[in-house]
Amino acid sequence: MTTIKDVAKHAQVSVATVSRVLNNNGYVNEDTKKKVVRSIKELNYKPNAVARSLFKKESKTIGLIIPDIMNPFFPELARVVEDVMNKRGYTVILCNSDANPEKEAHYLDILKRKYVDGVMIVTNTLEQDHIKEWELPLVGLDRPLEHTVPSVYSDNIHGACLAVSHLKEIGCHHIAHIQGPLTIANAKQRYQGYKQEIEKNDSFQEDLVVPGEYQWQTAEAAAISLLKNHPYVDGIFAGNDVMAFGVIKAAIKTGRKIPEDLQLIGFDNIFMSEMMHPSLTTISQPIDEMGKKASELLLSLIKGNASVEFPKPFKATLKKRSSTLQV
């Protein structure tokens, strides 16, 4: 490992001078600058990031805490975030919390000790008190957070309304909902949106709502028994795409054709939803934009912009595919 001292020696200047040309600050004579640059090249010198971190109390690193990278929603997010961060010279540490508060705390602890410059987090449980202790640039993702920390998420209620109203539009009269875990804010909101939109015409029917745990296996089972108990159901709004995939299986197993017998809308628009058969009509979250926005927010916070914008919820949009009839 070659250090700044080696370069200084080689260029016959002091480390200070080398440091100056390295960081482009302070005055430095053009000729000596050239000398230094040459030495740097010749020795293939790369400044040591750790030493730099220690001094500057920053690491050009951020933490990304998500429940589980295996959940298909997150790779897309992670990719966007990593991309923009990388472009800006940051590196990202991946943390899978399993939505476990202790794990979250654990990661936050470690990240802080590594001088990460900020963290992006997807969490349901974030206690006000703890947040303040951090004094660390922090932005929430996918779900609204405490009022002290900006968060990037989409308008789930609106999205759910969109889904249900579209189902109504295309002729569904008995619309069921496969619901995510109510411990997760967006699942609750999607349920709310569903209920709200249903109640505009019909009376809300509680037994048309079944829990699917945001997983396709559970959703499949739930949908099967739903369809058995309520054979007249002709439309389903699934709380996310993965559960919608379960519904597709359920439909096949109970002998229904999608969309002819049963129309289906998911939520998220993860990239597999187009790949399914039938391809899935869904409420599309602008994951790319959201990831970019979150990254920019965090970067801005890191740069020191104390009071940073609290972005409005992103609008989710209806993405029509083959699991619903065309109007």
Q: What residue ranges bind a copy of itself (CB under 8 A)? A: 46-51, 53-54, 59, 61, 64, 68-70, 72, 74-76, 78-79, 82-83, 86, 91-96, 109-115, 216, 245-246, 248-249, 252, 271-272, 275-277
Distance separating alpha carbons of residues 67 and 70, to the nearest angstrom: 9
Instruction: For a copy of itself, give the closer residue by CB, 51 or 182.
Output: 51
The entry of a copy of itself, DNA, none that residue 182 binds, CB within 5 to 8 Å by partner kind: none
Instruction: For DNA, give the closer residue by CB, 60 or 103.
Output: 60
Pairing of strands 175-179, 138-141: unpaired
* Contact set with DNA (CB under 7 A): 1, 3-5, 12-17, 19-20, 22-23, 25-33, 45-48, 51-52, 54-57
Dihedral of alpha carbons 290, 296, 298, 300, sign: negative
Smallest distance from DNA to CB 158, Å: 46
- From start to end of the chain, where are the E strands? 61-66, 91-96, 118-121, 138-141, 151-152, 175-179, 209-211, 235-238, 263-268, 281-284, 317-319
Length of the chain, in residues:
327
Q: How far from chain centre, in Å, is Cα 282? A: 18
The entry of DNA, a copy of itself, none that residue 75 binds, CB within 5 to 8 Å by partner kind: a copy of itself
Q: Which of 111, 148, 97, 98 is nearest to 127 (CA)?
A: 148
The entry of a copy of itself, DNA, none that residue 5 binds, CB within 5 to 8 Å by partner kind: DNA
The entry of DNA, a copy of itself, none that residue 288 binds, CB within 5 to 8 Å by partner kind: none
Instruction: For a copy of itself, give the closer residue by CB, 96 or 124.
Output: 96
